[in-house]
Amino acid sequence: MGYFDYSREPKSDIAFVDMKSFYASVECVKRGLHPLKTSLCVMSRADNSTGLILASSPMFKKIFGKSNVGRAYDLPFDIKTRKFSYYNARKQGLPTDSDYVRYIEDWAQVTLIVPPRMDEYIAVNMEIQRIFQNYGSPDDIYPYSIDEGFIDLTSSLNYFIPDKSLFRKDKLDLLSARIQRDIWRQTGIYSTVGMSNANPLLAKLALDNEAKHTPTMRANWSYKDVEEKVWAIPKMTDFWGIGRRMEKRLNALGIFSIKELAISNPDQLQKVLGQAGLRLWFHANGIDESNVHKPYKAKSQGLGNSQILPRDYVKLRDIEIILREMAEQVAIRLRRAGKKTTLVSLYVGFSKQEVRSSIHTQMKVEPTNNTAILTDHVLKLFHNKYTSGAVRSVGVNYSGFVDESFGLISLFDDVDKLEKEERLQTAIDAIREQFGFTSLLKANALEEASRSLARSKLIGGHSAGGLDGLK
* Residues with catalytic roles: 148
Report the helix count and the strand count for the chain, using DSSP H and E. 16, 14
d(CA 367, CA 344): 10
Other C-beta atoms lying within 10 Å of the C-beta of residue 149: 20
d(CA 334, CA 399): 9
DSSP, res 358: P
Assign 8 to helix, strand or coil: helix
Q: Which residues contact 413 (CB under 8 A, 6 or more apart)?
A: none
d(CA 430, CA 79): 44
What does the DSSP assignment read for 397-435? Answer: EEES-EETT-----TTS-HHHHHHHHHHHHHHHHHHHHH
Assign 330 to helix, strand or coil: helix
Closest by CA to 323, choosing from 299, 359, 270, 272, is 359
Exposure class string for 156-182: b at 16+ Cβ within 10 A, else e: bbeeebeeeeeebeebbbebbeebbeb
> What is the C-alpha end-to-end distance of the chain, expressed in Å?
54
Query: Residue 112: phi, psi to the nearest 5?
Result: -95, 130
Burial of 228 (0-12, 13-18, 19+ CB in 10 A): exposed
Beta bridge partners of 352: none
d(CA 36, CA 22): 11
DSSP, res 227: I
d(CA 307, CA 410): 36
d(CA 113, CA 44): 10
